[in-house]
Amino acid sequence: MSNGQGMATEGEVQEGLTVEEIAFIHGHLHDNVGELILKAGKFKGLDVKKLAAQIQSRQKALKKLPEWSTNEKLIFPPALSVEQCSSEATAHYKASIVSGDRLIDITGGMGIDCYYMSRSFTDTHYFEQQPEVASTAAYNFTQLGATRIHVHAGESLHALHDGLNADWLYADPARRDANKEKVVRLADCTPDVAGNAALLLNAAPHILIKTSPLLDIDLASKELQKLKEVHVIGYEQECKELLFVLDREMPEQDFKIKVRVIDAAGQPIHELDFDREEERSAVVSYAKPLGYLYEPHAAVLKAGAFKTLCTRFNVQKLAMHSQLYTSEEYVNDFPGRSFRIVAVCKPDIREISQHIPGDKANITTRNFPAKPEELRKKWKLKDGGDHYLFATTLADQSKVVIVCVKPI
């Protein structure tokens, strides 16, 4: 365990980069890494392979981790780890839903989530089983001025058995098995948060578990005890992650689903709260394309709010399985992309071309027997422009292409 704030076990403290190494990294930050390694002989006294790995990771982090990537002194893990870590946007969001005196992060890793969430706590304990990962995190936390994070290179569950407790406990279980294959059940992740729920809830009244967006929400809800909320996080056009909140005081399994489409600062742009009973009982009506078309955000679709959208936003579905919605009047707060309908055509480029200038259009297919790239090739259209083509199937099973533009 650590003997001080922001420091790893004695003897395992990560050494920082030299002035020369920092200069090399930032002088070649936008270079091709492979070509750089081939020229390694030109740079005497430098471990170019090591520095190239840092450059490659920073290239991956430029957009995902803007604050970290602009700090010259930080040491980054391999590029794959950067790809798999949380973004600063989602980490900011997590920090907004937790707070208290003490946080325990039982899965450590690169430490993005831990760093941002620690700002909401007086005291934070970070655990990581791989000593080199823990020492790098300790070094980075120190460079970032996160002096209230205690770094432990060891097994977190042992510390919980020994009585370490907190207001919140955070876990981001590894989602690959011993053969490096992806897993889809919580019980197959490491550590097994479902199997250790009693231990975790004894250590903290509130648990926050991050999982892949591929995880089945309803299956996971059956695996977890005391489930209070499931946050489905969308950022830009993707569903980024699922967050499961456990509460020791929950009397029964009656969880809410909270869809949050966030901006770069982790602030919600769109919010939608509902539960499975509301979704089951929601009344859906169907219509042919009206004045406006709506495509739900990927996070909304992941959450399964297919019918709830109709009742909450006064829109109608085009068909049961198309997951496209329409209305006569414009709904400006719909959680997804919104368009003004220009025309409804047969899937025939001769008819479509009458409504689009030039040879450019953005193509989307929903419940349609062809992929966008197939239609693009068939219709000889380039990607881009101000017009959007939605190839879909209506409730009467007719195949159509809806020509749209962004609403004014």
pLDDT in tens, the chain (408 residues): 443 344 444 345 567 889 999 999 999 999 999 999 998 888 988 999 999 999 999 999 999 999 999 899 999 998 888 988 999 999 999 999 999 999 999 999 999 999 999 999 999 999 999 999 999 999 999 999 999 999 999 999 999 999 999 999 999 998 755 555 566 678 888 889 999 999 999 999 999 999 999 999 999 999 998 999 999 999 999 999 999 999 999 987 789 999 999 999 999 999 999 999 999 999 999 999 999 999 999 999 999 999 999 999 999 999 999 999 999 999 999 999 999 999 999 999 999 999 999 899 999 999 999 999 999 999 999 999 999 999 999 999 999 999 999 986
pLDDT at 181: 59
Cα 281 to Cα 266: distance, rounded to the nearest angstrom: 32
Strand pairing category for 268-274 and 387-393: unpaired
Closest C-alpha to 210, from 155, 169, 251: 169
pTM for this structure? 0.91
Distances (CA, A) of 394 to 60, 203, 335, 367, 401: 41, 52, 22, 9, 10
Which amino acid is present at 318? L
Q: What is the pLDDT at residue 89? A: 97
Q: What is the pLDDT of residue 11?
A: 40
Say how many C-beta atoms besides its own lie within 10 A of residue 106's C-beta: 29
Instruction: Provide the pLDDT for residue 163.
Output: 96
Neighbouring residues of 323: CB distance < 8 A, sequence distance ≥ 6: 295, 296, 301, 306, 317, 366, 367
Q: Which are the contacts of 45, defined by CB distance < 8 A and separation ≥ 6?
A: 20
